Chains A and B, each alone.
Chain A
Amino acid sequence: MPDGRTLEVKVWRGRESGRFQAFTVPRRASQTVLDVVSWIQRHLDTTLSYRFACRVGMCGSCAMTVNGKPRWTCRTHVDKVAEGDTLTVAPLANLPVVKDLATDMAPFFDKWAKAQGRFVPEDDRPREFHIVPPETSERRAVDAGIECIGCGVCYAACDIVRWNRDYLGPAALNRAWTLVNDVRDAGNPTRLAAVAGDAGCHACHSQENCREHCPKQINATASIAGLKRAAAIAALKGQL
């Protein structure tokens, strides 16, 4: 319910070039940033473009820059991030802007493909099932990174992505690391060759902005460090 208070919201309008437009939105209890954006679109300006689907932190489509930091807007309460009674909402950084708050995620997912982030099955000969005990280090490494939903928050938070547009980024490298540790996968060491080098894991400075901002608390920096180790060992063995 509205409690009489209002929120001053600055919302990015336009594409790469544009401006912030100010809106006044009623404050409500347990209001999320996505609630605020939706309220603006439904009551003040129907031309406002943004993206969301599940509203409960499962789909990864509503990430935006809220007061300078990349966040899921659906799981970000206004009370937690509003500075006084003001809020600034912009599209995710490091991605082309389609319009207003909607970014083009294609470069982000293209890099997942470049990092060979898809499972590669073994040949189709009949064989026994792989037994993967939960306590093995490989399985634990997969567990640590597998919950990524591809929202792009880490990619927007990463300084290396900003400096080096070829850099694969934390999410794609984290995905590759889960597959490197998947004993059923037959895509290595081709995958290691795809993720190593100046535009891959070796470009990471371990600043941990990805870990700091990840809404799932995934430590992509640790995954990237794992890739660096695996690539170094493969290079020493002449397998890269």
Chain B
Amino acid sequence: MSVRSETRLWLAQRASAAVLALCVIVHLATMVYAVRGGLSAAEILSRTRGSSAWLAFYLLFVAAVVIHAPIGLRAVLREMTTWRGRSLDFAVVLFGILLAALGLRAALAVFA
């Protein structure tokens, strides 16, 4: 991988981390608020279903995870193992696709 690509990966990971910091706070705060308010799962879903704002929020959250986690995993594997090269890059892209599928499934379930 070229130095330019590696630098752009680093930048993408930093930018997605900034988005994640915000998303995680909103996500956790909402969860605590909902549970403390005594809302049931059905009541929560009745509020989120059809809400395009929540869909947009969770799609952004999923996108940030899909960018952030595979780049981080690649860096961790490069440090902890001798795995390098295209096979590693391919494997973390697959991991990203898996995260995207799981994340989109969850986000859509909250919406519809």
Contacts and interface: CB of A to CB of B under 8 A. Distances in A.
Interface of A: 160, 163-164, 193, 196-198, 200, 202-203, 228, 231-232, 234-236, 240
Contact of B79 (A164, A202, A228): A164
B79 A197 contact: no
A28 B23 CA distance: 62
B11 interface: yes
B78 interface: yes
Given A235-B11, A236-B11, A196 B6 contact: yes
A53 B62 CA distance: 58
Interface in B70-89: 75, 78-80
Nearest to A232: B11
B3 interface: yes
Interface residues of B, number: 13
A134 B80 CA distance: 43
10 contacts: A196-B7, A197-B1, A200-B3, A202-B7, A202-B10, A228-B10, A232-B14, A235-B7, A236-B11, A240-B4
* Closest A-B pairs by Cβ, 5 of them: A197-B6, A235-B7, A197-B3, A202-B10, A240-B4
B27 interface: no
Q: Is the interface of B mostly helix, strand, loop or mixed?
A: helix
Contact of A232 (B1, B10, B78, B79): B10
A196 B79 contact: no
B8 interface: yes
Nearest to B10: A202
Nearest to B74: A198
B7 A231 contact: yes
Contacts of B78: 164, 198
Nearest to A160: B79
B3 A193 contact: yes
A139 B46 CA distance: 60
Contacts of B3: 193, 196-197, 200, 240
Interface in B1-58: 1, 3-4, 6-8, 10-11, 14
Nearest to A235: B7
B62 to A, nearest CB: 25
